[in-house]
A = this chain, B = another copy of it.
Amino acid sequence: MASKIKTAITPTREADYPEWYQQVVKASDMAERSPVRGCMVIKPWGYALWENIQRELDDMFKATGVKNAYFPLFIPLSFLEKEAEHVEGFAKECAVVTHHRLEKGPDGRLVPGGPLAEPLVVRPTSETIIGDAFSKWIASYRDLPLLINQWANVVRWEMRTRIFLRTSEFLWQEGHTAHATAEEAEARTALMLDIYARLAESFLAIPVIKGSKSAAERFPGAVDTQCIEAMMQDRKALQAGTSHFLGQNFAKASNIRFQTAEEAEAFAWTTSWGASTRLIGGVIMTHGDDDGLVLPPRVAPAQVVLLPIAHKPEDRQQVMDYTEALAGELRRVTYGGRPLRVETDSREIGGARNWEWIKRGVPLRVEIGPRDIANDAVFVGRRDLPHKQKSALPRAQFIAEVGQLLDAVQDQMLARAVAFREANTLAVDSKADFYAFFTPRNQEKPEIHGGFALAHWCGGSDCEARIKEDLTVTIRCIPFDAEEENGRCICCGQPSPRRVVFAKAY
């Protein structure tokens, strides 16, 4: 039975999680579907969140010596074909440019003209085009390591799309590095995964499990794909970032060779790693509630919104002056190494204004009325607490403690997400329990199932395929922190040295 309490978002998470997600995207004004099939328009509120994510990631990348560059959008078909597994993996979702102009057709309408001698693929990822550049840039071990990142749009033609989670065009960064040794490339693969985990946990308040993918789930052409996996509130997994150790596969395909210190000729060892606007979907699904978005303070487009309240016209000037002065003081506060982001909303639209900022997920809402001013106080609502639970705080104290308050919100959000994941993660040891864990208990809500199952797996692709076929459950990762433990595969009963994470996934 649906809850009787009125919520800002209809339906609630419990009533219909997928539809709740779409409604939060809409109500928070983050993005919308575009008239172009499978593509989205990222609106200012969503894009500002992306800019903050970009800035934190970019700073962390640069601190490890990575430099940004930019490579062509178009990849000649012949380049993509250089690595057999790679092209096989992406062939079905490539947008293909075949003409370079429009011309008048027989009926006077414009049609594609100027056919290209070789079709160009709109990059689904850039290993092959960047590999070509690397092959020219690298001659000697002195040119290594080469550490490059690109912020770009990519296109993967998807049949079923969902805003932020799976769209035909999305924004991401893709890092590409080349190294003299396998060990160094493996260390870089791990380092970048650590950065993604730090972004997720310290900035997005999303707890993640770090691990490696099974062979079946690897990036096409990779030797090892490492990932961070998060649990959403419908207990499904979201892959939130991947880091690939590519061995010498792409170096051989793109001819990335170098002269070693011993004057021998060798192929480089390469890595690639990426995170995308999908992370925004992860933020929504980890933290959102039935009143809308809940934003982690460290990346929120606005951390504080000031809401001046003047019911009487004669109060208006005083309230506005006080609000503007407070905004100025708050903007001089440093939070997370950056100036505090403060918005003022002085529209006179009644209670709708407060609800708009709740739906948009701003961490702190600050109401300022004549009575508050008389007390030199402000009235503060935290987005992570019930919306009626507000506190009066002396103005000076609020300014002095706003950082701590935001940290409290950030910490509380992470703690809740950790608790949720732990409550919905189970070590499962029998096949019957495993199947029961993933079987919906209520046929009307097929999306409600157990969550993450930590179970033994023999390492065989047959068992993996069987489980996927039966339950649409996949191995999310083989966690780095899994303990050695003698067990038996949940599917075939063969010996297994450690548990892996099974889940349904986005």
Q: A residues engaging B (CB < 8 A)?
A: 32, 34-36, 39-44, 47-48, 50-51, 67-77, 79-81, 87, 91-103, 110-112, 114, 119-122, 129, 132-133, 136, 148, 152-153, 155, 157, 169, 171
Cβ–Cβ < 8 Å partners of A110 in chain B: 77, 80-81, 87, 91
Cβ of B67 and Cβ of A44 under 8 Å apart? yes
Cβ–Cβ < 8 Å partners of A44 in chain B: 67-69, 148
Q: Measured between C-beta atoms, what is the minimum distance from A115 to chain B in Å?
A: 10
16 contacts between A and B (CB under 8 A): A34-B71, A36-B72, A36-B74, A41-B133, A42-B70, A42-B71, A73-B153, A74-B169, A77-B110, A80-B102, A81-B110, A87-B102, A91-B101, A95-B99, A100-B157, A112-B119
Q: Measured between C-beta atoms, what is the minimum distance from A35 to chain B in Å?
A: 6
Give Cα A101 to B121, complex, Å. 9
Cβ of A69 and Cβ of B47 under 8 Å apart? yes
Cβ of B98 and Cβ of A121 under 8 Å apart? no
Cβ–Cβ < 8 Å partners of A34 in chain B: 71-72, 129, 132-133
Q: Measured between C-beta atoms, what is the minimum distance from A448 to chain B in Å?
A: 34
Cβ–Cβ < 8 Å partners of A111 in chain B: 119
Cβ of A95 and Cβ of B94 under 8 Å apart? no
- The CB with the most chain B CB atoms within 10 A, among A32, A70, A81, A112, is that of A70
The 6 nearest A-B residue pairs measured at CB: A44-B67, A39-B72, A42-B70, A91-B102, A96-B99, A96-B112
Cβ of B74 and Cβ of A103 under 8 Å apart? no
Contact with A35, one of B76, B100, B122, B153 (Cβ below 8 angstroms): B76
Q: Across the two chains, which residue of chain B brings its CB closest to A58?
A: B51
Cβ of A95 and Cβ of B100 under 8 Å apart? yes
Q: Measured between C-beta atoms, what is the minimum distance from A62 to chain B in Å?
A: 10
Cβ–Cβ < 8 Å partners of A32 in chain B: 133, 136
Q: Across the two chains, which residue of chain B brings its CB closest to A50?
A: B70
Cβ of B96 and Cβ of A100 under 8 Å apart? yes
Give Cα A47 to B94, complex, Å. 27
Cβ–Cβ < 8 Å partners of A47 in chain B: 67-70
- The CB with the most chain B CB atoms within 10 A, among A69, A81, A93, A102, is that of A102
Cβ–Cβ < 8 Å partners of A72 in chain B: 34, 36, 39-41, 169
Q: Across the two chains, which residue of chain B brings its CB closest to A29?
A: B137
- The CB with the most chain B CB atoms within 10 A, among A41, A81, A155, A169, is that of A41
Cβ of B98 and Cβ of A98 under 8 Å apart? yes
Given A41-B71, A99-B119, 12 further pairs, Cβ under 8 A: A34-B129, A34-B133, A35-B79, A35-B129, A36-B120, A36-B129, A73-B155, A93-B100, A97-B97, A97-B98, A112-B119, A114-B157
